[in-house]
Amino acid sequence: MRGFIVLISSLCAVQASAMSLPPVPTEPIYFEPPVVHAEAEVRALSCYDLDMAINQLHPYRYSYKPPYYEDGSNKLATALVVFDSVPLVEGWLGLGYLGYSALVGEKEDRRQLHVDQQIASLQRVKAEKHCYE
């Protein structure tokens, strides 16, 4: 019995010494948007041209993709996941569409963020030029 206990404790000691912590990732976990800086040709624009450039970017700030719970395709995909009984598919089609929908939403969010940053850059140039003061 004593030999069995020694064997178990030595196996646990070997297993405990072999475990090591995973390396800490140096890359950021979440998406960090790049800061948009104004270029020389943007700084050369007049106040009126800056206003026109901002006005042309405003329609791109909005998303025309319906929210998750208002999108009929997401409702259909969820129903496919729950009720699908086709042997080969078995809900994978619905899960695939839900993943695709999430990717499209992420792409849309990044597009909107980029446009917002461009508008902020143009507004900073307007502020530096003291337009309409």
pLDDT of residue 90: 74
d(CA 117, CA 34): 9
Portion of the chain with pLDDT greater than 70, in percent: 72
Residue 62: Cβ within 10 Å count: 10
In this predicted structure, the answer to whether residue 41 has a pLDDT above a threshold of 70 is: yes
Q: Where are the beta strands (DSSP E) in 1-133?
A: none
- 33 close to 113: Cβ distance less than 8 angstroms: yes
Which tens digits make up the pLDDT trace of 105-130? 888 988 898 899 999 999 999 999 88
DSSP H or E run through 43: helix 40-43
| DSSP helix/strand/coil, 105 | helix
Q: Is the pTM of this model over 0.85?
A: no
